[in-house]
Amino acid sequence: MEHTKQQDRHFDRWALVLIGALIVAFGVVVPPFQVADEHAHFIRAYEVSRGQWVGVNAPVLPADVIRYIRHYPEKMEWLKKPNPDDDSVAPFSPVGDHYWLGRGVIAANVYCPIAYLPASLAMLVGRMAGASPAILLYAARFADAVLFLAGCYLAMRAAPAYRLTIAAVALLPTTLHQCAAVSADVVTVSVSFVLVALLLRLRDCSDGARTKIGLAVTFVLLVLCKLSPWAFVALFLISPKAFASQKQWLSYIAVVAALMLACAGLWHVASASSLEAFRAVRLADGFDMTARTQEILQHPFRVGLFLTTYFLRHFPRYIVTWLGAFGWTHFYIPLWIQPITLLLLLVVAATEAGGKTFSRIERLLWVAVFAVGIVFIHLALFVSQDLDGVQGRYLTPFCLFGLLALRQTRFVVSRATLARVVVGYGLVHGVVSVIWLVGAYYY
């Protein structure tokens, strides 16, 4: 037993060092604002660092910040070079390949400022020190990377029997690319990892009050960082065996759900103007969100059939872009690598030893959370824009629910062997991805 614990601690150190090294490499190699909507998230985080908790649609930014953002076009992997400085261009003009900037700023205003706290705190310190916009960007990226690393550490410590699966998802190139940026997604992904780990800890250990308090906090944080209806389904994954009676279990779920609804509702009220602005800009682009919502309510079966058909046709693209896609246009490392990566994830999730055996009902519930996440993504994109906007990276916050449902006990692989595979493949895949990014942006 002691030898196993030593092996686990050894794996934790190596995995966290590897995740840290790779996420720093991604943060350094990827040029400014080349993660989807990073320029808009940067502006939102900058505004939060100035105390502007509720976003404004046309923020007044310093000239050097505007110039820095304009210097880097969207989809730079196509253009291969920055824009020339041009102070005559309006701050949020689409000129200079900034088509999404104005829309992105309005969309980012919908997010609660909690999702930007790490980046905003780093920017606040940088601004107090008189740092340039470039320093602010990379300081914010580094802060987000530290938060993600902390989330991985907490998740692996809270659920040690599942640490290999958690590490395998954290080491996906898309995850590293996404979490080495200024984005609301970083806090969302980090909190979701911790949430899954605490659910597993309460299920396996039933160690009481601290875990229950931590779960309540993470559930609330998750719905504040990003609207996540699947989190409400995940409430029923809270183990009833950790409570003295079913009544206490249901009461706990009801209290946490009420807190989630109250916090999300308060932010919705506070940011109502941002949501209306988002509706208006989508209407200008030809997407009537109100009409599409009504269509779902009035014709749920027809819309459901349409979305199901679309999903069945396009889920291979989701998998490819989830396993290793980068940038605005989702260029990816060679496609033949993706099946190997998917196989690795499935094998690790299914054969990692440890933890209590999942009952059939538990397995169905874990799959249900994953399925609700998939459904919500499609409904949200159906309402607000074209379904072609569904991206593989959207799966990251709730993918562990689907993967862990594969856990079985008939055939397991030794933890030492799986640990070597996860770290070794993660290292190779990560390094290849960094080299690929260097070639895509600089040559």
Q: What is the pLDDT of residues 291-307, one digit of tens each?
A: 999 999 999 999 999 99
19 within a domain of the structure (yes/no): no
d(CA 392, CA 275): 25
Q: pLDDT band for 418, please (50, 70, 90 cuts).
A: very high
Q: How far is it, in rounded angstroms, from Cα 161 to Cα 123?
A: 37
Q: Does residue 54 sit in helix, strand or coil?
A: coil
Q: Specify the pLDDT at position 206.
A: 63
Q: Please, what is the end-to-end C-alpha distance for the chain in angstroms?
A: 51
- 331, containing H or E segment: strand 331-332
For 127, the domain range is 28-442
Residue with tokens 């205003």: 109
Q: What is the pLDDT of residue 8?
A: 67
SS (H, E, C) 255-279: HHHHHHHHHHHHHHHHCHHHHHHHH
Per the CB < 8 A criterion, the answer to whether 224 and 271 are in contact is: no
Structure tokens at 131: 């740092």
Q: How far apart are CA 328 and CA 287, in angstroms?
A: 21
Domain count, the chain: 1
Cα angle 274, 104, 87 (rounded to 5 degrees) comes to 115
**Max CA pair span of the chain:** 68
Instruction: Determine which of 213-227, 324-338, 347-361 has the lowest per-residue pLDDT on average.
Output: 324-338
pTM of the model: 0.94
- Domain membership flag for residue 15: no
185: buried, middle or exposed (CB in 10 Å: 19+, 13-18, 0-12)?
A: buried
pLDDT of residue 348: 95
| Per-residue pLDDT reduced to its tens digit, 75-100 | 888 888 888 887 777 878 888 888 88
**Look-up: residue for tokens 């686990």?**
8
| Separate counts of helices (H) and strands (E) for the chain | 20, 2
* Percent of the chain scoring above 70 in pLDDT: 98
Cα Rg of the chain (Å, integer): 22
Residue 312 lies in a domain: yes
In a domain, 98, yes or no: yes
Amino acid in position 292: R
Residue 9 has pLDDT above 80, yes or no: no
Mean pLDDT rounded to a whole number for the chain: 91
Of 193, 206, 118, which is closest to residue 396 (Cα–Cα)?
A: 193
Find the mean pLDDT for residues 24-49: 95
In this prediction, residue 204 carries a pLDDT of 84
Domain assignment present for 6: no
Give per-residue pLDDT as tens, 154-184: 999 999 999 999 999 999 999 999 999 999 9
Q: Is 93 part of a structural domain of the chain?
A: yes
Residue 2 has pLDDT above 70, yes or no: no
CA dist 67 → 70, 123, 418 (Å): 5, 17, 48
pLDDT score for 386: 83
Is residue 12 in some structural domain?
Answer: no
Shortest CA distance to 113 belongs to which of 263, 228, 231? 263
Apex 24 CA angle, 192 and 51, nearest 5: 65
Residue 264 has pLDDT above 80, yes or no: yes
pLDDT at 112 over 70: yes
- Is residue 228 predicted with pLDDT exceeding 90? no
Average pLDDT over residues 270-296: 90
Mean pLDDT calculated for residue range 410-428 = 91
Percentage of the chain modeled with pLDDT above 90: 72
Residue 5 lies in a domain: no
